Amino acid sequence: MKYCYFLVLTILISSCSSPIQEVMKSDHPAIKQVAKNLKNHEVQIIFTQIDSTDNGSIEFTDHAFQVNEKDYFYPASTVKLPVALLAVEKLATDSLLHLDILYKSERDDELHNVAGDLLQIFAVSDNEAYNRLYEYMGRDYINDRLREKGLAPTRIAHRLSTSNADEAQTAQLKFFPSYEGDIVLEGNIKDGSIAKIKVKRTEKGVGYMKDSLLVNAPMDFSSKNYFPLEAQHGVMQRLFFPEQFKEEERFQIPSEDLVRIKQMMRSVPRQAGYDEVDYYDSYVKFFMYGDTKERIPEHIKMYNKVGYAYGTLTETAYIVDEKENVQFLLSATILVNENGIFNDNTYEYETVGIPFLAQLGREFHQYAIGNK
């Protein structure tokens, strides 16, 4: 049967009819301790309810809580998702290149391929894999493409966890499409300068650590990556429900590559060859299972990307329960920095942030089951 899709947009921020409002009234301690201090935790949530109608179509209803693209939060590794998708899209424009072609970056001596980069990004959120894809495209190209897809005001400004994070010049990459010595040169791009973003809450906290010294002033995030929650949710919607968008707003990824990307997105570290003791299933999957190291059941398919740095935890996910026959989209962010000092590695990830996101996922999972 060919499904017809309908999008019902209902931004319900204060209405008691919103399922997010009901979830935030939960008696569960992980929710209650955050709900009583929403301002300091800078919580934002988007939940897309996916319902089947009597005529066999699928109906989408979006619910939002405290979502405001003008309220800044540090997106951390969530930026790896759009960068990964754009890299695959760009690779497909060259008939000589594909996901498994070997390449080498001038910044290291190792051989890589984009398929391996994607697997590392989704299985364990590897920073170096993201940085190589950043070098391949450059920030100007990335931002232009996201803007064309209607995902502004996203702004990718820098690499992650490296000394040359915002350097304008990207590395040169050498792709080797054949055994005959052919080389395709990519990267080696000179990007423009970074303008400071002009939104609220780019100055955070009462102090921050720099060179092991405390600076008694708010930390300025205005030159860092900017990826609002609506844009994150929009990436997931375009990836899994492209029919809802204009052709130019979709990711132009070959179908065979798309299958592989989705497989990697829902993979857990052990399926990618990582040691399960250190890289348990929920290592980078916080919704529903972040507060446990037990294996995620096979019938739960979680296609997601998380980010955590500077006390901010964020996740965007498309979750499918094949046993209960329910599916939904969920994106959320929370700040956990009780002492107000940034870059001191003293954050309440394990005691507040991850338990909140895990319970949030469970609450919406149960809501989806109860309303199917």
* Strand pairing report for 326-335 and 44-52: antiparallel
The CATH architecture to which 5-370 belongs is 3-Layer(aba) Sandwich (3.40)
Output the pLDDT for position 263.
Answer: 98
Q: Residue 7 — very low, low, confident or very high, per pLDDT cuts 50/70/90?
A: very low
Output the pLDDT for position 114.
Answer: 98
Q: Residue 300 — very low, low, confident or very high, per pLDDT cuts 50/70/90?
A: very high
Q: Say what the pTM is.
A: 0.94
147/151 Cα distance (integer angstroms): 5
- Other CB atoms within a 10 A radius of the CB of residue 150 amount to 14
Output the pLDDT for position 372.
Answer: 80
Where are any strands of DSSP class E within 15-132? 44-52, 58-65, 102-105, 111-112
pLDDT of residue 62 exceeding 60, the answer is yes
Average pLDDT over every residue of 53-58: 79
Output the pLDDT for position 1.
Answer: 31
Output the pLDDT for position 17.
Answer: 67
Share of residues in the chain with pLDDT > 70 (%)? 95
Output the pLDDT for position 56.
Answer: 74
Write out pLDDT tens, residues 237-288: 999 999 999 999 999 999 999 999 999 999 999 999 999 999 999 999 999 9
- Other CB atoms within a 10 A radius of the CB of residue 238 amount to 19
Average pLDDT over every residue of 81-86: 98
Output the pLDDT for position 121.
Answer: 98
Write out pLDDT tens, residues 171-205: 999 999 987 778 999 999 999 999 999 999 999 99
Domain ranges of the chain: 5-370
258/78 Cα distance (integer angstroms): 19
Write out pLDDT tens, residues 13-42: 334 469 999 999 999 999 999 999 999 999
pLDDT of residue 12 exceeding 70, the answer is no
Write out pLDDT tens, residues 98-144: 999 999 999 999 999 999 999 999 999 999 999 999 999 999 999 99
Q: Sheet holding 213-215: strands in order across?
A: 213-215, 207-210, 341-342
Q: 51-55 long-range contacts, Cβ below 8 Å, gap at least 24?
A: 51/371, 51/372, 52/372, 55/4
75/340 Cα distance (integer angstroms): 18
Average pLDDT over every residue of 149-160: 97
Q: Enumerate residues 6+ apart whose C-beta is below 8 A from 156.
A: 79, 82, 83, 134, 139, 142, 143, 146, 225, 227
**Mean of the per-residue pLDDT values of the chain:** 94
